Amino acid sequence: MRTIDHLIAGEASSGGGGARSGDVFDPNTGQVQARVTLGTQADLDRAVAAAEAAQPGWAATNPQRRARVLFRFKELVEAQMEPLAQLLSSEHGKVIADSKGDIQRGLDVVEFACGVPHLLKGDYTAGAGPGIDVYSMRTPVGIGAGITPFNFPAMIPLWMSAVAIACGNAFILKPSERDPSVPVRLAELFREAGLPDGILQVVHGDKQMVDAILDHPAIGAVSFVGSSDIAHYVYSRGVAAGKRVQAMGGAKNHGIVMPDADLDQVVEDLAGAAFGSAGERCMALPVVVPVGDRTADALREKLIPAIHALRVGVSTDRQAQYGPVVNAAHKARVEGWIQKGVDEGAELVVDGRGFSLQGHEQGFFIGPSLFDRVTSAMESYREEIFGPVLQIVRAPDFETAVRLPSEHQYGNGVAIFTRNGHAAREFAARVNVGMVGINVPIPVPVAYHSFGGWKRSGFGDHNQHGMDGVRFWTRVKTITQRWPDGDAALSHGSEDGAAARVSDAFVIPTMG
């Protein structure tokens, strides 16, 4: 059986004797396809030692040369898009088109990071005082770490690592142990692109490795994406250890449907936003809020046949809208939330439980589910389901539609569907959520803007990628300088010996 090892100092490593391991499933069949090594403190220490040895030289490499490595990496990934997508789908379960999108959204951030020579330019003020100039520069944090979730095994590691590396840091990645192969392969391609050994390393593990990362004194910054409870834990423990931490948590994104919305377009958007990737996305749209019963009834009437028409299939089925969820435990969790909704009194209009795909009866498949008459008091509404389940929460008016996402514990994303520009503008200005879509169901910002939610969807002061990513992975150093007037005389030879001593004291590095 295939074994997935760490990548430390440019080499595969199985860790020390007696290392633990975990199962990696093929969600399409329900069978174990590989074993992943679960690392120890000793494995992390070796990765940190390699990072400490390599990072100063990488930081001293001029930004355009660092950018050239990113350009070469992007070309290598694009050439390997199909096998990478196949590998990703085989461990995650998402269909090939979604896997390619996962990789491409990561490459978008790589493209952004290729502009690092411009992104790292500091500020300069000449004549801030008599003969005084002030300037600032962005310097690397040193060693950073990323702890990433199973649902985007290419995109989120690249969101973190590309910007961190471009800024001159070494980076240690701990991917999800559920689908770890693609992160390792991406690190191998970075090395092939010319990245020095020790600058990007991959260590696998569970909570033991997470705690080791959060406690290690040489790691200066940690980026995390996962559930909100764990995000809060990572943020609190990391900050207590003196690190800067960005921790992105869960979500319960709402889609507000105004009476003037194009319902056919809304239904088409919801089919992808609510059920795509089996709902295993923090930017999925699992709650739809039609304003007024007439809107709700009309939307429900159109949703039911559209949901029944969704094709659930294996990851390699090019006609399938989505594939299986990641493992049996997650399947059971999602089905438990469906039962919870029934017990709470919501109307289960379409029940996706018990779905079985012929020839893949042991796969982790769940059919699409639709609830109506869900209320804000229900636990199944308050918590993140993270599966192919759509809930209709009826709102009597616009004010209620604004209040529902604003008062929810999560504040990741929200969308409004309307033809009314004033309503859209008013909603975007007032809603208490970090990312807003106007007739855009999944408002993930482009790579040169930043990604991040509010409330329990995000902990820390900086968002992912964009200039916020550059700010997170660098520290600002500000220099205030004044040169005494007497130094000018040295350059005219009035004190030749002193001038020679000054010039001998400095070695000016060549540009390259």
Prediction pTM value: 0.92
SS3 (DSSP) at 460: coil
Q: What is the pLDDT of residue 80?
A: 98
Q: What is the pLDDT of residue 485?
A: 79
Question: Could you tell me where the DSSP H helices lie in 412-462?
Answer: 421-430
Q: Where in the chain is the domain with CATH 3.40.605.10?
A: 2-249+460-474
Q: Where in the chain is the domain with CATH 3.40.309.10?
A: 254-452
257 within 8 A of 414, measured Cβ to Cβ: no
Q: What is the pLDDT of residue 228?
A: 97
pLDDT in tens, the chain (512 residues): 899 999 999 999 987 656 799 999 999 999 999 999 999 999 999 999 999 999 999 999 999 999 999 999 999 999 999 999 999 999 999 999 999 999 999 999 999 999 999 999 999 999 999 999 999 999 999 999 999 999 999 999 999 999 999 999 999 999 999 999 999 999 999 999 999 999 999 999 999 999 999 999 999 999 999 999 999 999 999 999 999 999 999 999 999 999 999 999 999 999 999 999 999 999 999 999 999 999 999 999 999 999 999 999 999 999 999 999 999 999 999 999 999 999 999 999 999 999 999 999 999 999 999 999 999 999 999 999 999 999 999 999 999 999 999 999 999 999 999 999 999 999 999 999 999 999 999 999 999 999 999 999 999 999 999 999 999 999 999 999 999 876 555 555 555 555 445 445 444 444 44
Question: Could you tell me where the DSSP H helices lie in 115-154?
Answer: 116-119
> DSSP letters along 41-94, please?
HHHHHHHHHHHHHHHHHHHHS-HHHHHHHHHHHHHHHHHTHHHHHHHHHHHH--
| Residue 329: C-alpha distances to residues 277, 326, 369 (Å) | 17, 8, 18
CATH fold group of domain 2-249+460-474: Aldehyde Dehydrogenase; Chain A, domain 1 (3.40.605)
Q: What is the pLDDT of residue 19?
A: 72
413 within 8 A of 437, measured Cβ to Cβ: yes
| Annotated catalytic residue 282 | yes
CB atoms within 10 A of CB 473: 29
282, 299, 307, 325: the active-site residue = 282
DSSP-assigned letter for residue 369: E
For residue 377, give both structure tokens.
Answer: 């008091």
SS3 (DSSP) at 27: coil
Provide CATH code, domain 254-452.
Answer: 3.40.309.10
33 within 8 A of 331, measured Cβ to Cβ: no
